Structure 1
Amino acid sequence: MPYPLSPGGADMITVVDSANYHQSAHLLDVMYQFRHRVFVEIMKWEACRRPDGRDIDQFDGPDCIHVAALDGEAVLSYSRLLPTTRPHLQSHVYPELLQGRTAPTGPHILEWTRCAAAPWRRPNSLAADPNAGRQFLAVTEMTPALGLTGYLAQVHPTMITKLTTMGWDVEPLALPTRYDGHLVVPIHMIWTPETADATRRAFGLTGTAYDVLPHTLPAPRSHPTHYAS
């Protein structure tokens, strides 16, 4: 059954970046709590555990972009995008994943991190998660609007096939290796004109993740940008 993405749905795609970072303290706090619940409490990333129940690291400043689907104040899905022109995870946390190779960087390439959908809101464990699909589609449709060509990411090797199915041109940057007990491969995900439609097909979605999709860099704004989905 296709899941519609027409305006007026329960969840809103919300973007926090440098333009509205300082006005979004409460919203960011909700996102950090979501990240801790998913990545620490469920996925057991013990290195990220904090007594206050918030996953915050040195990259969570005004230069990164937070993309979240919200149902009221409940986070349904989330991604964090980091500029590769500054220190980021691949360059300053686990550069050894590249095994001596060099990852592409620049103003048109961001690093896609902390991507997750709330497993407690998944409607069917046997089918593709529409909340995850909306998150992938939101970032996908944002990519050309922000003048980006793609992303760096660190993923399980099985994600390469899934991302290819979603229309990304995926370039592995090194062989898979174990990091903190998990098999990980660094990749460069390149956006193509087919990526959005392929993502819709992969998750059984229709429509767009955005009510109004900007075609240029977003104008400065004082409040989080909301897009109906």
Structure 2
Amino acid sequence: MFRTITPENRDEYQDLLDDMHRMRYRIVVGEWGWEIPGIPEGYDKDQFDTDNTVYIVVRNEVGEVVATSRMNPTTQPHMLSDLFADYCDLQPYPVGTDVWECSRFVTDRSLLADPVEDFRIRCRLGIGLTVFCLDKGINRLSWLTHQKFYNLVQRVWKTEPLGLPHREGDDWAWIPAVSRIDQATLDRQMDRFRNAEEIVAQYMAPKRRAGGGRVA
């Protein structure tokens, strides 16, 4: 379903990590248009890919990396502490052994056959994050996400904002947030994975106005 790469087993998965960093570059730079200082051409590895980083990687049936995310301990430098502390204008970013930061939540939709597979892949990625956290006694994940994804996260994880939405010259409003991780979180994720076809059908159904007319 997913592969968890930790400092302890990283040497076994160097080829997979290389594929993951190249996939991240294709999406975050090539598709999303991010400018990330200091990274090599074609390879997204920045200062927050450290010896202590944990990765969740999902591959398709032919072994291609289709989704990934990374986690870093908040007791060490991380994105909210070093780059986006000023975004946390409602409450300070959390720090502690029981809270890690999640970043680079990325999927390559070009390798996915349809919306149901896309949904299931993202479910697998979220399940991987939650399973690791439950196993390690981590009960919160902090992250910076765009507003649309923040609204989706709330359906699975109990999430609260650390700051108001911020815009930095693009179409995405960014929100720093923290989500609680517990067994109920995993149960909801597993239910969504099992019911993927029904949930995606609901998402794709034409929306209707209060008076009954369709929204274009």
Query: Would you call these one fold, judging by a TM-score over 0.5?
Result: yes
Residue 46 of structure 1: SS of its match in structure 2?
coil
Instruction: Report the Cα offset of residue 139 of structure 1.
Output: 1.3
% identical aligned pairs: 24
Aligned residues: CA RMSD: 2.3
Q: CA deviation at 1:75?
A: 0.4
Which sits farther off after the overlay, 112-121 or 66-75? 66-75
Deviating more after overlay: 22-31 vs 197-206: 197-206
Larger radius of gyration: 2
Asked if residue 67 in structure 1 is aligned to residue 20 in structure 2, the reply is no
Give runs of aligned pairs for residues 1-229 of structure 1, distance below 5 A. Answer: 12-47=1-36, 50-71=39-60, 72-99=62-89, 101-125=91-115, 129-166=119-156, 168-181=157-170, 182-205=172-195
SS in structure 2 at match of 1:120: helix
| Alignment length (residue pairs) | 194
Could you tell me how far apart the structure 1 residues matched to 2:126 and 2:169 are? 26
Instruction: Pick the structure with more helix per residue.
Output: 2
Q: Is the 8 A contact 2:145 2:175 kept in 1?
A: yes
- Cα deviations by residue, 1:15-71 (Å, 9 ceiling, x for unpaired): 221112344332221110011011111111123685530001012121010110123
Q: Which residue in the other structure is 2:204 paired with? A: none
Counterparts of 1:128 and 1:32, CA distance in 2? 20
Amino acid in the other structure paired with 1:46: E
Counterpart residue identity of residue 110, structure 1: W
Q: Are the aligned partners of 2:150 and 2:175 in contact in 1 as well (CA < 8 Å)?
A: no
Q: Helix, strand or coil for the counterpart of 2:76?
A: coil
| Unmatched runs of 5 consecutive residues or more in structure 1 | 1-11, 207-229
Aligned partner of 1:9 in structure 2 is none
Superposition deviation, residue 125 in structure 1:
3.6
RCO (CA 8 Å, sep 6+): is it higher in 1 or 2?
Answer: 1
Give the AA of the match of 1:155: T
Provide structure 2 residue ranges, at least 5 long, that are not aligned to the other structure.
197-216
Q: Which moved more, 1:89-98 or 1:15-24?
A: 15-24
Distance 2:31 2:115 in 1: 16
